[in-house]
Structure 1
């Protein structure tokens, strides 16, 4: 056996537990002289074979070849040994490689959403016989053709923009690892005009009071959950994962850890005084590790449980097929806060928006801005 002067990690097959519907790959690590560390590599050629047996046979041969090269001193040296670096990087292979690298940084929903879009893009390229397209050959014309194809399939402008944003984010990650790549072509694709969504409409006036009365009477636990959304503007998935140690009553703060947050960033939320009594009852006599909304086991309540409870109550009001949802309580809280005179900067902090512009756009989508001058000063055409 040959001895390598460079460290490496042997090639192995990731067969996704034998699931042929998932993308198999061979992965190994090779030493990068310029980086001064091991660099992960991925080979997806095994997916060309339709059966498990064929894939295992091919992977066995490929792994043997790769490991022989690693043992023989294979490494990456962009200055002296460029020939050892693959000359052609296939666009879709590169996209899947980034997804695998970033898998643990994305939430499960984000990863599944990204992968679904890449799968669809890959399938479309295959139909166009462009699935072997080098990454540096991607053009804005090709991207627009794919987006037009999805538009004809009935996708909304919001969904189409989401495709572009996803690919733009993945390409940016790719470019940070391959600095020779040209500027991000996905960033040049114009946004499609999105219609204002009426989903998750806020509860107003009498309907809000009646709904709260029923929720409080029938499902007290759901009422506590609703208050969380109303007062803190938190998302349901964040609320259900809260534990006692996240609540800092003395400082009037709720600490949301990055792994519990949709934004994947640590954050603090202020506890409004009207909510403090409810919050105190939720955590009293519970250990720090206890969940505020526990499930049947030692974990938190399941993801859709509160939404299911809320939907059952909405049916009593004949709102089953309306745009009212559990999430509507977040919008309700924001609207009431704005009408009460809370300034936009304070709303931004509580909403955890990255900019005032984002909060401004959000308030506009809720119909919060009215032109008071027009309402009060516009003269009549006929006196």
Structure 2
């Protein structure tokens, strides 16, 4: 025998809601009718009744059949009649049909991350993994442009998963209007492709295929090189600097020329502690790449360092201090540019000649001297020999004496 509580629990699974306390009149209903098909236990017996649906606000035909597991006809009949009496009692007391009872509520959809949110996460990842602020700056600039595009097109609430190839094409058009130089255009479009591909990878997947996968890159165009100096120009410039005894400028040029270092941060922000007996450490915070470079100090440079007694200074000092000697404050970004420009102007050297040109001049001289290309790769700080090959090819117009002498 079932207790009243057992019966109530089982009916609750059938969405029958008990009457409210204080309810005087039951809502419309119709008592149970048993369909037993001449007591044939091979068929499904049913209790049919009508009950008030509180959602549709009308009587609804309902069935109850949780006794068909009993195979004996007499026992099934007794069970069915027991349920019939109980359901009728519930109907008379005002029980109603509530379709919501017993149904598991649908899980709330998980909000898909917004494009702007994912952009910030992408930036945070790059900032924590890149070796230098200079490298991170490239990604930050890309982020600023994408944010401007998002705002101007009112895409602030766009989820990353909802980004379409059409939106990516619109961003490409935006970049083409923003920049004219092919190299800049290519870099910016590549940044977009890299960003959207980041969210196609396992673990952070927003889509199976990046919506930017088919973005067409602008054809690559080699940038114009800083003009290298001729042998005569080198001789004239060095002679004039020595006459003026501007040894700080000479030392700066030597680091660019002999170590193939970039004048911006690699040389300007060099510290005394970076100098080794026969090499100099150029760390990721200053180098263009995320690795430490350690170019060799050729004799002329090493001798000039010793002549100026740089190593005896405070290790934390910048080699090129703002008072004309090693100090705690480095020279400004354009300091040596102006000093170098005055030398060129005095000698009447005009054209695309810059301090950076000494890097190419040094490479050309080393190539002409027959120094092993692999050693030149290390001196330049190139992580791949392929980069050295490309660089050598670009310098070939200035460096190939063999073609000049033999191709007659």
TM band (smaller chain): 0.5 to 0.7
CA deviations over 1:315-346 (Å, ceiling 9, x no partner): 334556x3211111111111111111122211
SS at match of 1:248: coil
Question: Contact 1:91–1:135 at 8 Å: present in 2 too?
Answer: yes
* Aligned equivalent of 2:272, options 223, 244, 250: 244
> How far off its partner does 1:95 sit?
1.6
> How far off its partner does 1:205 sit?
2.6
Residue in structure 1 matched with residue 318 of structure 2 by the alignment: 291
SS at match of 2:365: helix
Question: Contact 2:112–2:159 at 8 Å: present in 1 too?
Answer: yes
Comparing 297-306 with 239-248, greater Cα deviation is found at: 297-306
- CA distance, structure 1, for counterparts of residue 253 and residue 109 of structure 2: 55
Matched, 1:204 2:244: no
* Aligned equivalent of 1:224, options 251, 274, 281: 251
CA deviations over 1:83-108 (Å, ceiling 9, x no partner): 79952222233223332454464644
SS at match of 1:254: coil
Residue in structure 2 matched with residue 302 of structure 1 by the alignment: 332
Question: Contact 1:172–1:184 at 8 Å: present in 2 too?
Answer: yes
* Aligned equivalent of 1:148, options 168, 173, 176: 173
> How far off its partner does 1:187 sit?
6.0
Alignment map for 1:21-100 (pairs within 5 Å): 87-100=111-124
CA deviations over 1:20-39 (Å, ceiling 9, x no partner): xxxxxxxxxxxxxxxxxxxx
SS at match of 1:269: coil
- CA distance, structure 2, for counterparts of residue 376 and residue 192 of structure 1: 39
Question: Contact 1:199–1:324 at 8 Å: present in 2 too?
Answer: no
- CA distance, structure 1, for counterparts of residue 214 and residue 138 of structure 2: 22
Residue in structure 2 matched with residue 161 of structure 1 by the alignment: 186
Judged with a 3 Å threshold, the aligned counterparts in structure 2 of structure 1 residues 134 and 254 are, in CA distance, closer, same or farther, namely same
- CA distance, structure 1, for counterparts of residue 161 and residue 127 of structure 2: 24
CA deviations over 1:242-281 (Å, ceiling 9, x no partner): 22222221xx222222223221322321222332211223
CA deviations over 1:339-377 (Å, ceiling 9, x no partner): 111222111111111211111112222335769689957
- CA distance, structure 2, for counterparts of residue 373 and residue 89 of structure 1: 60
Residue in structure 2 matched with residue 234 of structure 1 by the alignment: 261
SS at match of 1:230: helix
Alignment map for 1:131-146 (pairs within 5 Å): 131-146=156-171
SS at match of 1:330: helix
Question: Contact 2:273–2:316 at 8 Å: present in 1 too?
Answer: yes
Q: How many pairs does the alignment contain? A: 293
- CA distance, structure 2, for counterparts of residue 206 and residue 265 of structure 1: 36
Comparing 323-332 with 109-118, greater Cα deviation is found at: 109-118
List gaps (5 residues or longer) in structure 2: 1-106
Question: Contact 1:243–1:291 at 8 Å: present in 2 too?
Answer: yes
Alignment map for 1:168-187 (pairs within 5 Å): 168-171=193-196, 175=201, 178-179=204-205, 181-183=207-209, 186=212
Judged with a 3 Å threshold, the aligned counterparts in structure 2 of structure 1 residues 242 and 316 are, in CA distance, closer, same or farther, namely same
TM-score, normalized by length of structure 2?
A: 0.62
SS at match of 2:223: coil
Question: Contact 1:92–1:118 at 8 Å: present in 2 too?
Answer: no
Question: Contact 1:117–1:163 at 8 Å: present in 2 too?
Answer: yes
- CA distance, structure 2, for counterparts of residue 164 and residue 170 of structure 1: 10
Matched, 1:367 2:391: no
TM-score, normalized by length of structure 1?
A: 0.66
* Aligned equivalent of 1:351, options 372, 380, 386: 380
CA deviations over 1:205-235 (Å, ceiling 9, x no partner): 3222222222333332111100001100111
Judged with a 3 Å threshold, the aligned counterparts in structure 2 of structure 1 residues 199 and 371 are, in CA distance, closer, same or farther, namely closer
CA deviations over 1:65-98 (Å, ceiling 9, x no partner): xxxxxxxxxxxxxxxxxx7995222223322333
Matched, 1:280 2:306: yes
Residue in structure 1 matched with residue 68 of structure 2 by the alignment: none
Comparing 160-169 with 363-372, greater Cα deviation is found at: 363-372
- CA distance, structure 2, for counterparts of residue 241 and residue 327 of structure 1: 15
- Judging by fraction of residues, say which structure has more helix: 1
Question: Contact 1:255–1:267 at 8 Å: present in 2 too?
Answer: yes
- CA distance, structure 1, for counterparts of residue 109 and residue 328 of structure 2: 49
CA deviations over 1:168-213 (Å, ceiling 9, x no partner): 4545665576145545555654443233322411111322222222
CA RMSD of aligned residues (A): 3.3
Residue in structure 2 matched with residue 51 of structure 1 by the alignment: none
Residue in structure 2 matched with residue 263 of structure 1 by the alignment: 289
- CA distance, structure 2, for counterparts of residue 84 and residue 273 of structure 1: 72
- CA distance, structure 1, for counterparts of residue 179 and residue 206 of structure 2: 37
